[in-house]
């Protein structure tokens, strides 16, 4: 059974179309990265999946309709919407008690052991904690819940690099067990790319790229081309070319590795570079870029 | 027993023990506790008022203001003797109303304002349970707390009065006989549950609805329609029925006692108590239906609401 399945998922706010027919299938045990520019519809899509907003089209999460069966769905789903959402008046001990009280799948001992690795005091109030500590606390609460689906929307926004790295390390090492499904929406692509099993690029309410990371590795290659081989390289129709110090890097889709090796150093592109290339190929997006340059 | 069967029975136990869903009563209990953690003023304010009132009474007791009447004429009617006790009860009821109004106006607004609503919504507690837990503060918790504090306060007052009477070599019999403390407490409980819980319920549900709807200035949005309707009524028809109606709901002027205007407070004799006529008054049921409509709307609204 797919964890998340949608067909023609649509959502409009007045005349603004946030989701324009999303067809999606996320299998159990996958870690999906939802990547897109600001206003691409990532948060709207996650809100629909979490039953926080009504939508048009078909959507099934763990076999439930998230909007009409939200109460049942929330037994098995957990999410962090934003780092600042923990109630500021609450004490750490109160939050532990509360979640243990209302959540059937919360393992308090596990949460306590996560917290033991931090400097967070049980008697502190959330408003007294630093931003990084609040995230650690939230993560400790969420990771102690045995949920089938975890949704993270910009979970590390506003955190420094150390906390961001720690966050994804503990997510992968302490939480992910290959049975759970995780969906992460973020801008900070480079930090999560080694974590993901699947990548989806979203732009203006549509999915424009949907691959597993294995596919990305096998189908996309980047070559640092020597200037004297530029013509030969261009004949292979690269997706994108970018200038770097001492030459140019060309990105290819479905071109034989051996063939590319004759042009220069071959490597797997980063998700970020792939994202820029794919987004840049969007017709109206490219036009916007040209207009921007012309101005 | 082999280790394998041990492991099997263990895993079987783990499976059978694994909880599937938290019963709604438990979610309700923790939701109410959350409200009390978040809104400590709900019990601190009544306790503070009681403390101040007791302080005032101890001054009057030492000065002998209320006891003087007993000294002058031991055949004083009950109303005169019970006056300070009624004032104390009235003060606590007033505090309860003020706390309830401000609590309700903030209840569904605060969690959106501080953006914690998404954290609450990430846990398996339904909107219905959450809103009901919030309503239970003015509907159940505050009337019972008001009752407990008032009785404790009146008990201290009675002991203090008795002590002063005894010190002055006077009899406490008149005071204790006429006051009939136990009956007074029962009447107080009845009054709180009828006139201060059931009767103003539509007001509290309305305030909850507004607090879940308004983006800011909840008090303004809650009061504005009332002022507008009352104003239109007075200009168009020259009457003040709507304002009187809302006022009677708010202050708990319910038909739960056969009361003459002088007897606003519930210390009158038992014969004045009329639960039958209260429960059969159409006003009560119209109010409860209205409360149900407001409450349903507040629950529905919370589904759509996120942080503001």
Angle between helices B181-193 and B142-167 (to 10 degrees): 160
Q: Is residue B14 part of a domain?
A: no
**Residues B109, B104: Cα–Cα separation, whole Å:** 9
- Compute the mean pLDDT over every residue in chain A, rounded to the nearest whole number: 87
**Residues A116, A232: Cα–Cα separation, whole Å:** 59
**Residues A148, B295: Cα–Cα separation, whole Å:** 33
**Residues B40, B36: Cα–Cα separation, whole Å:** 6
Q: Any idea which of A106-115, A215-224, B178-187, B253-262 has the lowest mean pLDDT?
A: B253-262
Contacts of A47 in chain B (CB under 8 A): 306
Q: Any idea which of A178-192, B138-152, B221-235 has the lowest mean pLDDT?
A: A178-192
Residue bearing the bigger pLDDT, B94 or B80 = B94
CB-CB under 8 Å, B124 with A80: no
In this predicted structure, the answer to whether residue A295 has a pLDDT above a threshold of 80 is: no
Contacts of B300 in chain A (CB under 8 A): none
Q: Map B115-147 to HEC letters.
A: CCHHHHHCCCCCHHHHHHHHHHHHHHHHHHHHH
CB-CB under 8 Å, A78 with B33: no
**Residues B1, B11: Cα–Cα separation, whole Å:** 15
Which residues, in sequence order, are CB contacts of B207 under 8 Å at separation 6+?
B101, B104, B105, B218, B222
In this predicted structure, the answer to whether residue B74 has a pLDDT above a threshold of 70 is: no
Count Cβ atoms below 10 Å from residue A41 Cβ, excluding itself.
25
In this predicted structure, the answer to whether residue B7 has a pLDDT above a threshold of 80 is: no
Q: What is the mean pLDDT of residues A70-91?
A: 87
Check the CA dihedral B267-B270-B271-B272 and report its sign.
Answer: positive
Q: Is B303 in the A-facing interface, judged by CB distances under 8 Å? A: yes
CB-CB under 8 Å, B19 with A80: no
Q: What is the mean pLDDT of residues A172-183?
A: 85
CB-CB under 8 Å, A80 with B307: no
Among B131, B135, B134, B137, smallest CA distance to B303 is for B131
**Residues A181, B255: Cα–Cα separation, whole Å:** 59
CB-CB under 8 Å, B124 with A71: yes
Residue bearing the bigger pLDDT, B271 or B274 = B274
Please spell the DSSP secondary structure of A215-265, one letter per residue. Answer: HHHHHEEEEEE-GGGHHHHHHT--SEEEEETTEEEEEEES--HHHHHTTEE
The size of the A-B interface in CB pairs under 8 A is 83
CB A240 within 8 A of CB A220: no
**Residues A249, A243: Cα–Cα separation, whole Å:** 6
Q: What does the domain layout of chain A look like in residue ranges? A: 2-204, 216-294
Q: Any idea which of A56-70, B129-143, B269-283 has the lowest mean pLDDT?
A: B269-283
At A47-75, the pLDDT tens digits run 999 999 999 999 999 999 999 999 999 99
Name the minimum distance, in Å, from the CA of A152 to any CA of chain B.
Answer: 11
At B288-302, the pLDDT tens digits run 999 999 999 999 999
Q: Cβ-count burial of A179 within 10 angstroms (0-12 exposed, 13-18 middle, 19+ buried)?
A: exposed
CB-CB under 8 Å, B119 with A103: no
Instruction: Show which of residues 2-41 on chain B sit within 8 Å of chain A, judged by CB atoms.
Output: 19-22, 26-27, 29-31, 33-34, 37-38
**Residues A168, B91: Cα–Cα separation, whole Å:** 56
**Which of B32, B120, B122, B305 to probe by mutation at the A interface, max A CB count within 10 Å?**
B122
In this predicted structure, the answer to whether residue B268 has a pLDDT above a threshold of 90 is: no
Q: Is residue B40 part of a domain?
A: yes
Q: Is residue B18 part of a domain?
A: no
Count of domains forming chain B: 1
Cα–Cα distances (Å) from B268 to B96, B154, B200, B257, in that order, read 21, 16, 22, 9
Q: Is residue B213 part of a domain?
A: yes
Q: Is B55 in the A-facing interface, judged by CB distances under 8 Å? A: no
Q: Is B44 in the A-facing interface, judged by CB distances under 8 Å? A: no
Q: What is the mean pLDDT of residues B75-82?
A: 73
In this predicted structure, the answer to whether residue B2 has a pLDDT above a threshold of 50 is: no
* A176: phi then psi, degrees, rounded to nearest 5: -70, 125
Name the minimum distance, in Å, from the CA of B299 to any CA of chain A.
Answer: 13
Q: Is residue B92 part of a domain?
A: yes
**Residues B136, B42: Cα–Cα separation, whole Å:** 12
Count Cβ atoms below 10 Å from residue A201 Cβ, excluding itself.
23
Name the minimum distance, in Å, from the CA of B194 to any CA of chain A.
Answer: 32
Would you mind telling me the total number of residues written for chain B in this entry?
308
Closest residue in A to B19 (Cα–Cα): A104
Which pLDDT value is given to residue B18?
Answer: 45
Residue bearing the bigger pLDDT, A265 or B214 = B214
In this predicted structure, the answer to whether residue B280 has a pLDDT above a threshold of 90 is: no
Angle between helices B78-113 and B218-237 (to 10 degrees): 120
CB-CB under 8 Å, B26 with A101: yes
CB-CB under 8 Å, A54 with B304: yes
Judged by phi (left if over 0) then psi (alpha if -120 to 50, else beta), residue A56 lies in beta
CB-CB under 8 Å, A105 with B119: no
The vertex-B85 CA angle with B80 and B90, nearest 5°, equals: 110
As a whole number of Å, the CA-based R_g of chain A is 22
Contacts of A104 in chain B (CB under 8 A): 19-22, 124
Q: Cβ-count burial of B215 within 10 angstroms (0-12 exposed, 13-18 middle, 19+ buried)?
A: exposed
Q: What is the mean pLDDT of residues A276-291?
A: 66
Both tokens of A214, joined, read: 């294995």
Q: What is the mean pLDDT of residues B157-173?
A: 85
Chain CA centroid to CA B215, Å: 26
Which residues, in sequence order, are CB contacts of A218 under 8 Å at separation 6+?
none
B111, B123, B307: residue with CB nearest A103:
B123
A70, A80, A90: residue with CB nearest B37:
A90
What is the domain range of residue B250?
A: 23-304
pTM for the structure as a whole: 0.87
B258 band by pLDDT with thresholds 50, 70 and 90? low
Residue bearing the bigger pLDDT, A246 or B187 = B187
B75 band by pLDDT with thresholds 50, 70 and 90? low
In this predicted structure, the answer to whether residue B40 has a pLDDT above a threshold of 90 is: yes
Q: Is residue B254 part of a domain?
A: yes
Closest residue in A to B306 (Cα–Cα): A52
Q: Is A101 in the B-facing interface, judged by CB distances under 8 Å? A: yes
Closest residue in A to B115 (Cα–Cα): A85
Instruction: Show which of residues 54-93 on chain A sit within 8 Å of chain B, judged by CB atoms.
Output: 54, 70-71, 74-75, 78-82, 84-91
Topology classification of domain A2-204: Rossmann fold (3.40.50)
Name the minimum distance, in Å, from the CA of A213 to any CA of chain B.
Answer: 29
Among A187, A171, A161, A160, smallest CA distance to A138 is for A171
Which pLDDT value is given to residue B300?
Answer: 95
The helix/strand/coil state of A35 is strand
Q: Map chain B to HEC letters.
A: CCHHHHHHHHHHHHHHHCCCCCCHHHHHHHHHHHHHHHCCHHHHHHHHHHHHHHHHHHHHHHHCHHHHHHHHCCCCCHHHHHHHHHHHHHHHHHHHHHHHHHHHHHHHHHHHHCCCHHHHHCCCCCHHHHHHHHHHHHHHHHHHHHHHHHHHHHHHHHHHHHHHHHHCCCCCHHHHHHHCHHHHHHHHHHHHHHHHHHCCHHHHHHHHHHHHHCCCCHHHHHHHHHHHHHHHHHHHHCCCHHHHHHHHHHHCCCCCECCCCCCCCCCCCHHHECHHHHHCCHHHHHHHHHHHHHHHHHHHHHHHCCCC
A200 band by pLDDT with thresholds 50, 70 and 90? very high
CB-CB under 8 Å, A70 with B119: no
**Residues B27, B206: Cα–Cα separation, whole Å:** 24
Contacts of B19 in chain A (CB under 8 A): 104-105
Residue bearing the bigger pLDDT, A84 or B237 = B237
Q: Is B124 in the A-facing interface, judged by CB distances under 8 Å? A: yes
Which pLDDT value is given to residue A292?
Answer: 40
């Amino acid at each position: 059974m797919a964890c998340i399945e949608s067909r023609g998922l649509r959502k409009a706010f007045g005349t603004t179309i946030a989701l324009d027919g999303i067809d999606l299938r996320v299998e159990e045990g996958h870690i999906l990265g939802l990547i897109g520019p600001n206003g691409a519809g990532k948060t709207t899509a996650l809100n629909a999946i979490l039953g926080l907003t009504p939508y048009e089209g078909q959507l099934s999460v763990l076999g439930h309709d998230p909007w009409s069966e939200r109460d049942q769905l929330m037994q098995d789903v957990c999410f962090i919407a934003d780092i600042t959402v923990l109630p500021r008046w609450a004490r750490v001990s109160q939050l532990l008690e509360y979640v243990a009280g209302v959540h059937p799948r919360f393992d308090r001992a596990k949460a306590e052991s996560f917290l033991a690795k931090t400097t967070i005091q049980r008697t502190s109030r959330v408003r007294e904690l630093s931003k990084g500590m609040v995230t650690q606390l939230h993560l400790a609460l969420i990771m102690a819940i045995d949920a089938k689906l975890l949704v993270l929307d910009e979970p590390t926004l506003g955190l420094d690099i150390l906390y961001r790295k720690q966050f994804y390390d503990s997510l992968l090492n302490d939480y992910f067990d290959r049975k759970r499904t995780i969906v992460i929406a973020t801008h900070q692509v480079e930090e999560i790319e080694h974590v993901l099993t699947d990548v989806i690029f979203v732009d203006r309410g549509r999915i424009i790229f949907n691959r597993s990371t294995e596919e990305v590795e096998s189908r996309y290659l980047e070559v640092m081309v020597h200037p004297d081989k530029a013509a030969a390289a261009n004949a292979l129709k690269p997706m994108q070319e970018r200038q770097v110090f001492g030459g140019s890097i060309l990105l290819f889709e479905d071109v034989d590795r051996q063939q590319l090796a004759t042009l220069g150093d071959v490597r797997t592109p980063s998700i970020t570079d792939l994202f820029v290339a794919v987004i840049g190929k969007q017709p109206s997006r490219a036009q916007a870029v040209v207009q921007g340059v012309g101005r | 027993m082999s280790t394998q069967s041990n492991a099997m029975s263990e895993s079987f136990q783990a499976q059978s023990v694994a909880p599937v869903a938290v019963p709604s009563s438990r979610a309700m209990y923790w939701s109410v506790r959350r409200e009390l953690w978040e809104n400590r003023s709900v019990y601190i304010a009544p306790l503070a008022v009681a403390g101040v009132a007791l302080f005032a009474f101890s001054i009057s007791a030492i000065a002998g203001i209320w006891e003087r009447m007993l000294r002058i004429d031991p055949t004083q009617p009950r109303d005169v003797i019970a006056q300070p006790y009624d004032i104390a009860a009235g003060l606590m009821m007033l505090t309860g109303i003020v706390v309830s109004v401000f609590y309700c106006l903030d209840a569904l607004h605060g969690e959106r304002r501080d953006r914690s609503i998404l954290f609450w919504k990430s846990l398996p507690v339904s909107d219905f349970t959450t809103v009901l837990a919030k309503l239970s503060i003015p509907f159940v918790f505050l009337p019972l707390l008001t009752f407990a504090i008032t009785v404790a306060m009146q008990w201290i007052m009675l002991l203090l009065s008795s002590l002063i009477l005894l010190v002055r070599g006077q009899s406490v019999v008149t005071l204790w006989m006429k006051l009939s403390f136990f009956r007074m407490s029962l009447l107080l409980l009845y009054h709180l549950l009828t006139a201060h819980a059931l009767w103003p319920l539509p007001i509290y549900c309305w305030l909850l609805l507004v607090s879940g709807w308004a983006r800011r200035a909840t008090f303004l949005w809650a009061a504005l329609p009332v002022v507008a309707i009352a104003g239109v009524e007075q200009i168009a028809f020259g009457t003040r029925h709507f304002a009187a109606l809302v006022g009677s709901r708010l202050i708990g002027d319910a038909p739960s006692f056969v009361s003459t205007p002088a007897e606003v407070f519930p210390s009158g004799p038992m014969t004045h108590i009329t639960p039958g006529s209260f429960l059969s008054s159409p006003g009560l049921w119209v109010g409860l239906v209205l409360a149900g409509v407001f409450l349903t709307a507040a629950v529905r609204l919370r589904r759509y609401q996120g942080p503001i």
